[in-house]
């Protein structure tokens, strides 16, 4: 998966430069490769939910590629809920990595304060998404999973989505597509890789 994933990520980045007609297809191939790789792994406690997260992520990619912002946000909200569900299974306590939790909360409150005046009619969906991705990030930070790469993947995902929000509602980000998509693909790769390594194999049912 690693090589194929990287190759198509690089092809997509080149496609951004040359503005090819089938860029939308190149955009979802890395996520599709990841999803197929997850599907081929041994059944585990998080495999099905992880596939659901990737399916909704792919749908979100397509919807955003065709400028369907609200539906794209809705798809990614469901993807973040799926990731949050996985992290919930590994949750330890509020005090786990408490400094990171406080830092994340401060950052998300700042993003809400920054975005709210510019959201207009999109205030409700964007704030709902911000709450969900904040919950996903906090559950990741407060989980027993390692910082490398599960927690870092969640944090990088938040950074990627922050870039989307700032670019759309506040001010254009230089080379926004490259920054947004490079952090997005990195986040997905880190999340999937770490969650697959940490997943507990499901026990087979006893035969009568």
The pLDDT value given to residue 208? 40
Task: DSSP for 92-155, please give it.
Answer: --TTTTHHHHHHHHHHHHHHHHHHHHHHGGGHHHHHHHHHHHHHHHHHHHTBSS-IIIIIHHHH
Residue 113, burial from CB neighbour count under 10 angstroms (0-12, 13-18, 19+): exposed
Q: Which residues contact 39 (CB under 8 A, 6 or more apart)?
A: 47, 51
The pLDDT value given to residue 202? 61
**In this predicted model, what pLDDT tens digit does every residue of 125-145 receive, in sequence order?**
999 999 999 999 999 999 999
Question: Is residue 91 helix, strand or coil?
Answer: strand
pLDDT of residue 154 exceeding 70, the answer is: yes
pLDDT of residue 187 exceeding 80, the answer is: yes
Instruction: Give Dmax over CA atoms of the chain in angstroms.
Output: 64
The pLDDT value given to residue 22? 85
Cα 173–Cα 179–Cα 183 angle in degrees, nearest 5: 140
Average pLDDT over residues 157-164: 97
pLDDT band at 170 (very low <50, low <70, confident <90, very high): very high
Question: Is residue 89 helix, strand or coil?
Answer: coil
**In this predicted model, what pLDDT tens digit does every residue of 44-60 receive, in sequence order?**
878 999 999 999 999 99
């Amino acid at each position: 998966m690693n090589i194929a994933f990287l190759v198509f990520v690089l092809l997509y980045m080149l496609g951004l430069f040359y503005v090819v007609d089938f860029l939308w297809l190149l955009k979802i191939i890395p996520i599709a490769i990841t999803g197929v790789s997850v599907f081929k792994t041994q059944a585990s406690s998080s495999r099905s939910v992880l596939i659901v997260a990737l399916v909704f992520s792919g749908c979100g990619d397509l919807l955003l590629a065709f400028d369907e912002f609200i539906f794209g946000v809705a798809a990614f909200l469901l993807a973040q809920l799926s990731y949050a569900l996985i992290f919930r299974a590994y949750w330890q306590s509020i005090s786990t990595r408490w400094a990171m939790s406080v830092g994340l909360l401060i950052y998300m409150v700042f993003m809400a304060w920054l975005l709210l005046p510019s959201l207009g009619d999109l205030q409700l969906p964007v704030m709902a998404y911000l709450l969900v991705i904040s919950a996903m990030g906090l559950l990741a930070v407060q989980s027993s999973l390692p910082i490398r790469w599960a927690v870092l993947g969640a944090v990088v995902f938040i950074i990627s989505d922050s870039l989307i929000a700032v670019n759309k509602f506040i001010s254009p980000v230089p080379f926004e597509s490259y920054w947004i998509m490079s952090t997005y693909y990195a986040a997905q790769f880190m999340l999937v890789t770490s969650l697959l390594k940490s997943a507990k194999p499901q026990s087979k049912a006893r035969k009568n």
